[in-house]
């Protein structure tokens, strides 16, 4: 089981005050994002990305949901491409 952290601790670590924390978390949870009170390190990174998208880029919670899904697909494709490249390099040797 991977280690977890309280979602409030992660948000405080990102420099959010209590009012901002509750507001952003309410918007994200209304979209079904981050429903648990604890997050894994991967989820904490997704939460960081979500906060950047919302605060710095003005993306709403629904847009964050779409962006996180696309990000996850992109990371999966990158991993598959890297594995295919490793296999090709092994075959070439």
Chain centroid to Cα 56, Å, comes to 15
For residue 17, pLDDT beyond 70? yes
For residue 1, pLDDT beyond 60? no
For residue 40, pLDDT beyond 90? yes
- 54, 23 Cβ separation under 8 angstroms: no
pLDDT in tens, 47-88: 999 999 999 999 999 999 999 999 999 999 999 999 999 999
Domain ranges of the chain: 4-92
pTM listed for this prediction:
0.81
For residue 2, pLDDT beyond 80? no
CA separation (Å) from 58 to 11, 48, 52, 55, 86? Answer: 17, 14, 9, 6, 39
């Amino acid at each position: 089981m991977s280690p977890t952290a309280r979602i409030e601790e992660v948000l405080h670590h990102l420099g959010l005050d209590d009012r901002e924390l509750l507001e952003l978390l309410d918007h994200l949870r209304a979209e079904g994002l981050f429903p648990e009170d604890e997050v894994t390190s991967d989820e904490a990174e997704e939460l960081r990305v979500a906060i950047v998208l919302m605060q710095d880029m003005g993306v709403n919670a629904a847009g964050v949901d779409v962006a996180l899904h696309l990000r996850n697909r992109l990371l999966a494709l990158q991993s598959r491409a890297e594995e295919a490249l490793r296999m090709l390099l092994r075959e070439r040797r």
